[in-house]
Amino acid sequence: MLREVTSRFALNPAGDDERYYGLGIEYGPRNHWIAHLGGWIKPEMIIENSGTEWILLKLDELNTRAELAEILNRKGSPMKRNEHGRGKKSNDIYISGVVRGPASALTKLTQAYFSVI
């Protein structure tokens, strides 16, 4: 029996928000078990000081929808929806980074990973 092991999966909200928000996760042995997370979230889903149940990220990118729209406008490119949404409000946030903890978050990501492969 052969099985292709995935290195990507998505977390999407249910309901009307699913076309605006979502997170893609790259994880698994191909990524040396380093979880990369990116996508669109609501501003209330991010804090500067970590809490016990919050995922800690080393951010590569953090922009609001308004900031990205301005950048794309300067380049003459429209803002399009990607597989992780496009945000809905001007203060919605696009994030991209590496998960750094806590251990409970990494355990949950690992459980999610093994549930989709």
CB 107 within 8 A of CB 55: no
CA atoms of 37 and 105, how far apart (whole Å): 12
Domain ranges across the chain: 10-116
**Radius of gyration, CA atoms only, the chain:** 15
Contacts of 113 (CB under 8 A, 6+ apart): 9, 25, 27, 28
pLDDT of residue 13: 76
Backbone φ and ψ for 62, nearest 5 degrees, come out as -150, 110
pLDDT tens-digit profile, the chain (117 residues) = 555 667 888 877 777 676 788 888 898 888 888 999 998 888 888 887 766 678 888 999 888 988 888 887 787 766 665 555 677 788 889 999 999 888 888 888 888 888 876
Helix (H, G, I), strand (E, B) or coil at 51: coil
pLDDT for position 78:
65
